[in-house]
Amino acid sequence: MERIDLEISQVLGAPIDPNLKVPVALSEIAEIETALPGDLVRIFNSSAEDVNVDDIYAVDANGGLTIHKVSAVAPATLTFSGLQSKLEYVLIDEILPAADQNALARKKVAITRAMDKQELKRILDAVLLVASQEVTLDSGEDLYDGIVKMVHKVEDYADNYVLLCGSTIKEKIDVYDKVNADNFNYRVGLTEMLAKFGITVIKVIGSVNGGKVLANGKCILVGRNSSLAQGKPITFVRRLMSPEIAKLMNSESAERAISVAQAPTVINADGKNTLGYAVFGYESIIETITNYRALSWSDELGA
């Protein structure tokens, strides 16, 4: 008898694209790193930053220097978080005779897509908790003013911007000039303003775990080049799996396992012990904001 699990493995291919290891939006705003099994990942706490770093003192008449005594800044160790999908399965009596052998392949694609969205949602939710970087609209201000205020919030600390926006904001950007044509007393070009500031607009779509990855009326501005910290203001880390563990999980990737059972597994569904091929996803990740001043956000621009 031919082994159906081998046929399924050929259909599935690699669980993760080696050329696109994270969602596009995440790669635009975050530094992507990996950590070996057992490695610690540390971060310097921004609350302990050196507030005197910009002080410059001249040598006095006697050749003396003014000296600052500063305490050593100790890094904090970050904790990896496991991200696991629910266990999906296809019954053996459905997959074996089926002309369409791609059922598990579709399960794998769906799990990969859901984990990608959850990675992005987690870090965007964290950005929206940084209260000091929220931008609100004053009376008479609109989308144009809000985006300008978001830029002004971060421009002293970063440039090379990307604007992540929900569907409502993206639609308002697309039709802004036409909708306001009768109201303009002078030329107000939203597209030209975005180009002037060098802002790339990315629409964030999709839902995961019952919630939008980014709510329709919210937007986040990320400055990707800063003089305060090297690289982008967000860092995403995946824990690499050892080759032995990856092999045991039937995974072709050392970063994320989308595992398909090598043999039919007992599925206890509705109190009945039936046989099916199971598939699930797992990874261990860290997501951290390393430079919050390069971020601003608003949930008022869609009004």
Domains and CATH numbers, the chain: 4-40+80-298 (3.90.1690)
Higher-confidence residue: 220 or 101? 220
Could you tell me if 250 and 260 are in contact, meaning their C-beta atoms sit under 8 angstroms apart?
yes
Q: What is the mean pLDDT of the chain?
A: 80
pTM to 2 decimal places: 0.79
Q: For the residues 152-168, what does the mean pLDDT come to?
A: 94
Strand partners, 281: 258
Among 46-50, 82-86, 275-279, where is mean pLDDT lowest? 46-50
Distance from C-alpha of 245 to C-alpha of 18, rounded to nearest angstrom: 19
Higher-confidence residue: 37 or 261? 37
User: Does the structure show a pLDDT above 70 at 9?
Assistant: no
Question: The tokens of 109 are what?
Answer: 């694609």
Q: Could you tell me the maximum CA-CA distance found in the chain, to the nearest angstrom? A: 93
Question: How would residue 12 be classed by pLDDT, with cut points 50, 70 and 90?
Answer: very low
